[in-house]
Amino acid sequence: MSINKLNLNNKDKYIEQAFEILNFFKSIIIEVHHIGSSRLEKFPYHCDMDILFIVKSYDDVRNLADILIAEGYAHVSNFSDYFRDDMVMRKVVDGQIVNMIFMSSTSWKKEDILNCTENLLFNEEFSGNFKNLKKAFFKNEMTEAEYDERKYRLFQMIKGEGDHLTSV
């Protein structure tokens, strides 16, 4: 499969999944964003798709779980430490894992996530470092814990906080 076809499929899948959730919860969802590796153009690896849903309040988030589980979604309690306070639901669509992250509009993490995504999209150095990091992880050149630590450091660098990496 060509990279362009992969990116087109990701865009179509993102739109399809986002609209499916919006149809259920249009009264409480404020924003929807495609974030993560699958958002990057020319990303040559098959990876999970992450969709960020910003909802009015955290009470709204808690009320979503049972409805989504009844519709075939699985609640993911160990997605990542960064998202431990948010609800993550997962569904496999055409063989691809789609993670739906539900976050309150008052969360301090929203702007960080969107800023990092934009920088990965438009800054070749950052996207190159991230692609190299993913490549090394997929080739089993580092453990998951090492990958998480190095990704955290890269995102801190993107945000302008912490150490600058000389290579990934």
Residue 39's pLDDT is 83
CATH for the stretch 3-107: 3.30.460.10
Q: What is the distance between the alpha carbons of residues 131 and 152, in angstroms, rounded to a whole number? A: 14
CB 103 within 8 A of CB 53: yes
Handedness of CA 9, 11, 72, 23 (dihedral sign): negative
Task: Report which DSSP code applies to 165.
Answer: P
Q: What is the distance between the alpha carbons of residues 7 and 51, in angstroms, rounded to a whole number? A: 15
- Per domain, the residue ranges of the chain are 3-107, 123-158
Q: Is the pLDDT of residue 166 over 50?
A: no
Within 10 angstroms of residue 163's Cβ, the number of other Cβ atoms is: 8
In tens, the pLDDT along 23-46 reads: 888 889 999 999 988 887 766 667
Per DSSP, the three-state class of 51 is: strand
Confidence of residue 5 (pLDDT cuts 50, 70, 90): very low
Structure tokens at 75: 């609640």
Task: Report which DSSP code applies to 73.
Answer: -
Per DSSP, the three-state class of 111 is: helix
Residue 11's pLDDT is 81
Mean pLDDT of 131-160: 91
